[in-house]
């Protein structure tokens, strides 16, 4: 090896080197804490929300089994993260929505007890996310999502309302969520639900040019009107010729939908009401 | 002095490749938290037994005398219990040329719409 060249190290300080390296490490940790950690938390929140979206669809499937497949009891364990799941039964406080089904003149209601302006109150199972300000609600057999910071809502899973053009039948399935007391849950819980009594079932003949009117009334704050408006007017498989008019009434928080029988035979309007009791969360 | 032996560098490179592929797989799995209607779900949802029950009853119905009454009963029961719209018309055998009965069955439960031209044995 060459011996006569040697580096001069008189300016090298171990302390300064240490400070430089240590400084870089601290700055690195600082940057990660400042920018990386909130990002990770955000990720966690959106993961919680996504999991709850899926959970609500699972609960909707439970309700479908109770209502349409004559299963007497259903139980699902789920994890409720980043918020709480609450039962708002159909007799509590201010409902987030009500539905009226009337003849067009408004003189007769097709819902029991057939007095004009009878309102059906569905009740709901609602997940309220604390961190992301999002509500996911299972109401009337549908799953709807709403953010607090923006107006508007979206339907994640549709209710089973349908129209059969072969037999000219319109089927409206209404689901009434009840509970014996007010319940809410955070963390891991089991949702138990059962069907109460016999479902209400009524079939009414609507002769050819007659109309029916569906009135959707929404709460000013818990407003899922955009989701339901889109469903009833666009996604529901009613033929175009049956749709007469959509009348929004923002001052009274109502949307009216007018449908008429445009078929050659009497249209049968089938209304079924299922009462689902949430036994525990 | 011993030369640097880099024959095994590929092990490290493979390690990198595998870890990156895991990363992309994780992204893909992350996208699938909420899924729509899958094929498997559609298969489970198909009301096979309800339709079989219905054809069974219709087979019996071809032989009873008051078939219109039975027909309207079946329609009502299907709507009330199974939440399905059912309509069928039975064509009795045109003997002696044809010994088969036929039935046009329409079934709709909001998810599945099913039409069948049923023929007796």
pLDDT in tens, A215-226: 999 988 888 989
Structure tokens given for A53: 């979206």
Nearest CB to B85: which of A53, A160, A169?
A: A169
Give the 3-state secondary structure of residue A205: strand
**Predicted confidence (pLDDT) at residue A92 exceeds the cutoff of 80:** no
Find the CB nearest A171 among B34, B82, B85: B85
Residues of B in Cβ contact (< 8 Å) with A272: 83
At A163 the pLDDT is: 92
- The candidate with the shortest Cα–Cα distance to A231, out of A173, A144, A149, A131, is A144
Mean pLDDT of A138-148: 91
Mean pLDDT of A249-277: 90
Averaged pLDDT for residues A30-34: 93
Residue position matching structure tokens 């000219």? A168
User: What's the pLDDT at A129?
Assistant: 87
Give B33's contacts (C-beta < 8 A, 6+ positions apart).
Answer: A47, A50, A51, A53, A54
CB contact under 8 A, B110 and A160: yes
Q: How many other C-beta atoms are found inside a 10 Å radius of the C-beta of residue A151?
A: 10
* Higher-scoring residue by pLDDT: B45, B75: B75
* Mean pLDDT calculated for residue range B28-56: 74
Taking CB atoms and an 8 Å cutoff, what residues of chain A touch B74?
none
Alpha helices, DSSP H, located in chain A? 14-31, 37-68, 225-230
CB–CB contact B108 A161 (8 Å): no
- The strand ranges marked E within chain A are 73-88, 97-103, 124-129, 134-139, 142-147, 153-157, 162-164, 169-178, 184-195, 200-206, 211-218, 243-249, 254-260, 267-280
Contact B79 A201 (CB under 8 A): yes
Query: CA A43 to CA A219: how far, in whole Å?
Result: 31
Q: How many of the other CB atoms lie within 10 Å of CB of A113?
A: 6
If you measure CA to CA, which chain A residue comes closest to B83? A68
Quote the mean pLDDT of chain A: 88
What's the mean pLDDT in A139-163?
90
Query: Before A199, cis peptide (omega within 30)?
Result: no
Question: Which of B106, B109, B111 is closest, CB to CB, to A167?
Answer: B106
Residue of B53, B110, B114, B116 for testing the chain A interface, max A β-carbons within 10 Å: B110
Contact check, Cβ <8 Å, B110/A169: no
Domains of chain A: which residue ranges?
Answer: 14-280
Cα dihedral value A9, A10, A15, A17, nearest 10: -40
Q: A95 vs chain B: nearest CA distance in angstroms?
A: 27
- SS3 assignment, position A211: strand
β A169-178/A267-280 pair status: parallel
Q: What is the ipTM of this complex?
A: 0.75
Least confident of A64-78, A193-207, B59-73: B59-73
Gap from A132 CA to chain B (nearest CA, Å): 18
A168 touches chain B (CB under 8 A): no
Which pLDDT score, from 0 to 100, does residue A145 have? 92
Q: What share of chain A in percent tops pLDDT 90?
A: 33
Residue A27 confidence (pLDDT) above 90: yes
Helix (H, G, I), strand (E, B) or coil at A127: strand
* Predicted local confidence at residue B45, as pLDDT: 77
Phi, psi of B22 (to 5 degrees): -60, -40
Q: pLDDT per residue over B60-88, tens digit each?
A: 777 777 778 888 888 888 888 888 999 88
- Chain A residues within an 8 Å CB radius of B42: none
Strand partners of residue A79: A188
Is residue A187's pLDDT more than 80? yes
Would you call B107 helix, strand, or coil by DSSP? strand
- From the list A83, A111, A84, the residue with the least C-alpha distance to A99 is A111
Please check whether residue A169 touches B, CB under 8 A. Answer: yes
Over residues B31-45, mean pLDDT: 64
CB A126 within 8 A of CB A88: yes
């Amino acid at each position: 090896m060459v011996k006569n060249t040697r580096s001069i190290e008189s300016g090298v300080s171990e302390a300064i080197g240490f400070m430089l390296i240590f400084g870089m490490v601290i700055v690195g940790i600082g940057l990660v804490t400042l920018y990386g950690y909130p990002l990770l938390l955000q990720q966690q929140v959106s993961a919680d929300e996504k999991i709850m979206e899926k959970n609500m669809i699972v609960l909707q499937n439970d309700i479908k089994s109770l209502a349409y497949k004559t299963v007497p009891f259903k139980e699902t364990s789920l994890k409720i993260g980043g918020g709480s799941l609450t039962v708002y039964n159909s007799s509590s406080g201010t409902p987030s929505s009500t539905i009226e089904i009337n003849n067009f003149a408004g003189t007769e209601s097709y819902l029991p007890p057939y007095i004009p302006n009878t309102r059906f109150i569905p009740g709901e199972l609602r997940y309220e996310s604390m961190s992301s300000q999002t509500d996911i609600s299972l109401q009337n057999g549908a799953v709807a999502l709403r953010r607090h910071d923006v107006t508007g809502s979206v339907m994640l899973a549709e209710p089973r309302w349908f129209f059969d053009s072969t037999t000219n039948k319109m089927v409206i399935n209404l689901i009434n969520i009840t509970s014996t007391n007010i319940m809410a849950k955070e963390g891991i819980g089991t949702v138990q639900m059962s069907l109460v009594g016999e479902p209400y079932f009524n079939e009414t003949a609507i002769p050819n040019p007659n109309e029916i009117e569906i009135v959707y009334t929404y709460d000013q704050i818990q407003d899922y009107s955009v989701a339901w408006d889109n469903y009833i007017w666009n996604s529901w498989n009613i033929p175009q010729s049956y749709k007469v008019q959509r009348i929004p009434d923002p001052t009274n928080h109502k949307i009216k939908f007018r449908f008429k029988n445009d078929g050659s035979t009497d249209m049968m309007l089938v209304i079924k009401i299922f009462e689902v009791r949430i036994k525990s969360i | 002095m011993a030369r640097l032996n880099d024959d095994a560098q590929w092990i490290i490179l493979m390690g990198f490749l595998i870890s990156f592929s895991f990363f992309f797989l994780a992204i893909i799995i992350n996208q699938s938290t909420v899924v729509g209607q899958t094929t498997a779900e559609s298969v489970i949802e198909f009301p096979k037994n309800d339709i079989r029950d219905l054809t069974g009853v219709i087979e019996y119905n071809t032989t009873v005398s008051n078939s219109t009454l039975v027909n309207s009963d079946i329609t009502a029961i299907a709507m009330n219990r199974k939440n399905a719209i059912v309509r069928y018309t039975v064509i009795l055998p045109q003997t002696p040329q044809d010994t088969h009965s036929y039935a046009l069955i329409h079934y709709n439960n909001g998810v599945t719409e099913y039409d069948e031209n049923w023929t007796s044995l």
